[in-house]
């Protein structure tokens, strides 16, 4: 089933076109953004936000999900990630599950964000070492 046309936006990542909407039906009131291939088939990506979802972070979210196991061609359960606007866009994502509380209410959110920051800075340091 395709995403609703109302307020649907389009983005292209890795030569593939995706549609996305904020607060799509089926998000259980969590205020998520939902992303799906423009063909309207395959598994959806759902971003559980802590903060505002903007067009600029959507490509980063898709890249993160693809790198962490989301297969937009396969059917099945939605792939859920969380996003925090307090972190840099490239670092602001983490994997979630539908059984966890909304990210913005998760009592472990500060700890999760600290771990995300540390991993991101370690990755940057490694990349800088490789370039030298």
Task: Give 2-26 pLDDT, tens digit per residue.
Answer: 787 778 889 999 999 999 988 755 5
pLDDT of residue 12: 94
Q: Which residues of 112-129 are buried (b: 16+ CB within 10 A; e: fewer)?
A: bbeebbeebeeeeeeeee
The residue ranges of the chain whose pLDDT is under 50 are: none
Give the N- to C-terminal CA distance of the chain in Å, as an integer: 48
- Overall pTM surpassing 0.75 (yes/no): yes
pLDDT of residue 27: 54
CA distance 75 to 71: 8
């Amino acid at each position: 089933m395709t995403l609703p046309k109302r307020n649907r936006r389009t983005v292209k990542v890795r030569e593939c076109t995706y549609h996305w909407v904020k607060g799509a039906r089926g998000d259980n009131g969590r205020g998520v953004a939902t992303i799906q291939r423009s063909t309207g088939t395959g598994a959806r990506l759902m971003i559980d936000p802590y903060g505002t979802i903007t067009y600029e972070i959507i490509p980063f979210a898709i890249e993160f999900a693809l790198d962490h196991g989301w297969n937009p061609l396969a059917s099945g359960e939605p792939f859920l990630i969380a996003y925090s606007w307090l972190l840099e866009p490239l670092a602001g994502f983490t994997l979630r599950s539908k059984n966890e509380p909304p990210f913005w209410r998760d009592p472990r959110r500060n700890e999760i964000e600290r771990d995300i920051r540390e991993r991101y800075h370690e990755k940057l340091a490694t990349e800088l070492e490789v370039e030298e």
